[in-house]
Structures are given as C-alpha cells and as structure tokens.
Amino acid sequence: MRVAFLGATKGMGRALARQMAERGDTICLLGRNIVDLERSAADLSVRGATDSVGSVACDLENPETFASAIEAAREALGGLDAVVVTAGVFATQEELEADPALAERLLRINFSNTVMFCEAAKKALLEEGGGALCVFSSVAGERGRKPVILYGAAKAGLTRYLEGLDHKHRADGLRVVTVKPGFVKTSMTAGLDPPPFAGEPDAVAQRVLGAIDRGAPVVYAPAPWRLIMAVIRALPRAIMRRINF
C-alpha cells in the first residue's frame, strides 16, 4: 500500500505508521516540522527495512499547502492507495474557555482545515480510481458533553462530513474510514488521569489497520468504547446535565 500520512510523528499516528511500515507499506510523511518528519521517516525505514520513506512539508494551519503536499506525496510514492489523517490539536474545555484565540484555532484546525485537507485527498484518490481515506475523529463528537464541548463540536462536524463523503463516494471506490478513539495513552493525553478502558496506541493502531484493509466505515478504538458511546448516546438530557462525563 502506498500511503500519504499526515500526523505520523506522534501518538496513535506513530503507532499506526509503524505497523504499516513493518508489514511493508510505503509511507510518505506529511507534517509541519521537517526535522521531526525526517526522524520519524528514519524510524519507519529501519522498522520496514526500506529506504523509500519520503517526507513533505504540510501545515494543517495553512490550507494552501494541502493540494501541493498531497501531489508531492503522490509523486514520491508513484501513486496513492491511502491517505491517513491523525493530526489535530487538543486542549481542555477550561483552556479553550479561557482563551478564545486558542478555541478559534482549535475549531479551525480540527474542523475546517481538516475537511479541506480531506477534500484535496479525496480528489487525488478519486483520480487514482479509489483508495482509503482514514481520518481520526473522536468519541468526543458523539454527544454534547461537558468536558469536551468545543473539541467535541469540531469532531462532530468532522464525523458528519466523513459520513457524507462515504455515502457519496463509496461507489466510486473511495473507502472512507472514520476512527473514533476513546481515551488513548499518548503524549497528547499524558498528564490526564486515564479512565477505565483507556487504550494503548499499538492496540488502537492494530484495529485501525484492520478497518482500513476491510474498508469498515467506522471504527471505535479501544473496542469497549463502541458500547460505552451507545449508552451515552441513549442517555436523556436530564441525565447528561447532571453527570460530568
């Protein structure tokens, strides 16, 4: 598989890219910090025992870079079978309420810019005759919840966009995979208290890779979160107002 990967340097993206490299996929890394990208590219090439992992500058804050970065990746890979997006930013509800500029930036990066990146990726994949577009959304987008109001709103929008994309283009060979991670122990969540069913990045990556291969439209990871969120979605507002989940 030839993969353009935005966000492979850290956390779940790093774990997923490693599993891809170890099974022999070719990966072109997209990201903002080229020095960091090259360190991850070195890691992936030793793991995959290959030397053909490229890196291309692409900043999720700067939509002008999207189309050209995907084009550069496609050229470096000699085609394109999958695009993976794990990049995004996180901040707690308190931090976002205290800093409107931060809130605006988070909403822009996690929603509109991610969507615009997917638009460019979709175009490239359709030109290739189809492929997988795997995007990390979040369980935070499933229900309006007190601790993740703004972050969850951006992820909810992203989830709906990806759902629509799947409905429209599945017949064209585009397999849109929406990943909804629950709490996963990564550098992003370091310092937060892990709840029950907190997952490890490697286990999440394994589930996601299976979903990409099968073309499953939605994957919860770790698995128990599918059930947890089914319960949360069914709770009446009167209860949601009382609990702090």
Partner 1 sequence: MSADANLSRGLGRSYGDASLPPDDRPDVLNTTFADRILSLDDDTGLFRAESGLALSELNRLLMPRGYFSPVSPGTKFVTLGGMVAADVHGKNQHRDGNFGDHVTALKMRVADGRVLECSPERHPDLFRATIGGMGLTGHILEVEFGMRRIPSQWIWQESRRIHNIDEFQDALEDAAPEWPYTMGWIDCLARGKHMGRGILMTGRWAEADQAPSGAPKRGFQPRLRFDWPEWVISGLTIRMFNELYYRKQWRRQSSGIVSHESFYYPLDAIGSWNRMYGRRGFTQYQCVLPREAGRSSARRVLDVLTTRGGASFLCVIKDFGRESSGILSFPRPGITLALDIAVRDDTQELVDALNEQVLQEGGRVYLAKDSFTRREHFEAMEGPRLDEFRAVRDRWDPDHRFRSAQSVRLLGD
* CA–CA gap between residue 61 and residue 77 (Å, rounded): 24
Q: Using CB under 8 A, pick the residue from 144, 146, 187, 239 that binds partner 1.
A: 187
- Which of 42, 243 has the CB closer to partner 1? 42
Secondary-structure percent of the chain, ordered helix, strand, coil, rounded to 5? 55, 15, 30
Question: Cβ distance 200 to 19 under 8 Å?
Answer: no
Q: Can you point out the beta strands (E) in 109-149?
A: 131-136
Question: Cβ distance 85 to 6 under 8 Å?
Answer: yes
Pick from 47, 75, 70, 60: which is nearest to 7 by CA? 60
Interface map 17-36 toward partner 1 (x if CB under 8 A): -----x--------------
171 contacts partner 1 (rule: CB under 8 A): no
192 contacts partner 1 (rule: CB under 8 A): no
Q: Using CB under 8 A, pick the residue from 23, 24, 33, 42 that binds partner 1.
A: 42
Place of tokens 């759902």: 163
- Which of 22, 127 has the CB closer to partner 1? 22
46 contacts partner 1 (rule: CB under 8 A): yes
55 contacts partner 1 (rule: CB under 8 A): no
Supply the DSSP symbol for 184: B
Distance of CA 34 to the CA centre of its chain: 19
43 contacts partner 1 (rule: CB under 8 A): yes
Minimum CB separation of residue 36 from partner 1 in Å reads 9
Binding site for partner 1 (CB under 8 A): 10, 22, 39-40, 42-43, 46-47, 49, 186-187, 190
